[in-house]
């Protein structure tokens, strides 16, 4: 009788350990899949925010580039007016001197 209980005990022990490991693995799998879903949804949100800001940054930089060109055009017009016309007041004289000094440097 003692010999048969050893076999039953070992089989019972193996079944209990296997069942515990299987149930723990099943439980962890459920938790890891939830964490994976949350992580992937967070990644999608981050990518959406980055794309939104990148698109708006492109628009802002394009507008900034246009404003720079407008300032260059205005500066060229003022320079042309100041250098091609005789100064009639102190401001025009100072402006002409400024542009002439810039050309000489």
pLDDT digits (tens, 9 = 90+) for 12-29: 889 999 999 999 999 999
Number of domains in the chain: 1
pLDDT category of residue 45 using cuts at 50, 70 and 90: very high
Full domain range(s) for residue 71: 2-104
Average pLDDT, the chain: 85
Indicate the pTM of the whole model.
0.42
Determine the Cα–Cα distance for residues 25 and 105; give it in Å rounded to an integer.
Answer: 78
CA 77 to chain centre: 40
Q: What does the pLDDT look like over 62-89, one tens digit per residue?
A: 888 889 999 999 888 888 887 787 878 8
């Amino acid at each position: 009788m003692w010999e048969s209980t050893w076999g039953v005990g070992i089989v019972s022990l193996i079944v209990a350990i296997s069942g515990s490991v299987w149930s723990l693995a099943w439980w962890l799998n459920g938790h890891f899949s939830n964490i994976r879903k949350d992580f992937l949804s967070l990644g999608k949100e981050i990518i959406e925010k980055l794309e939104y800001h990148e698109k708006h940054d492109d628009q802002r930089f394009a507008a900034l580039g246009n404003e720079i060109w407008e300032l260059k055009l205005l500066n060229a017009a003022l320079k042309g007016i100041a250098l091609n016309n005789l100064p009639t007041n102190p401001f025009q004289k100072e402006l002409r001197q400024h542009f002439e000094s810039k050309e000489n440097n």
